[in-house]
Structures are given as C-alpha cells and as structure tokens.
Amino acid sequence: EIPTPQSNQRFTGNWLVKDMHGNVLYRFGGVGNVQSDANRVAMAWLRGNQQHMRDGITVVPEMA
C-alpha cells in the first residue's frame, strides 16, 4: 500500500496525470500500486495526447 501523510486516506487503485497547476488531465487504473508501471501508462497516454506534454506533468496515486 502506498504510504500517505493522512492515515485515513487510502489508494483508490487509480492514478492521476496532473499538470503543473494540479489539474487532472487523465485518470486511469488497472496497473496496481507501482509508480513505474503508472509512469509507463501515463507516458503512452501523453504520446497520444501530445498537446498535454509539457514541463510539470506528474503522475500521482488517487487517494480517498
């Protein structure tokens, strides 16, 4: 399980691709809780959506 600063939050199983302002560009699941796997999926999505490829993009676990 991905550690969180707030113990009452848990990883939902989804990942978020965010821009430098924190806006969610893409939400996906099905890759488990491994950052490197999520990064691969996000990069594939970004290659197909190059208008979003710019500095400041992050891939983060969705917490609830």
Q: Are 58 and 15 in contact (CB under 8 A)?
A: no
Edge-to-edge strand order for the sheet containing 58-63? Answer: 24-29, 11-18, 58-63
Given a cut of 80, whether residue 6 has pLDDT beyond it is no
pLDDT band of residue 2 (cuts 50, 70, 90) is low
Q: What pTM does this model have?
A: 0.86
- In tens, the pLDDT along 15-56 reads 999 999 999 999 999 999 999 999 999 999 999 999 999 999
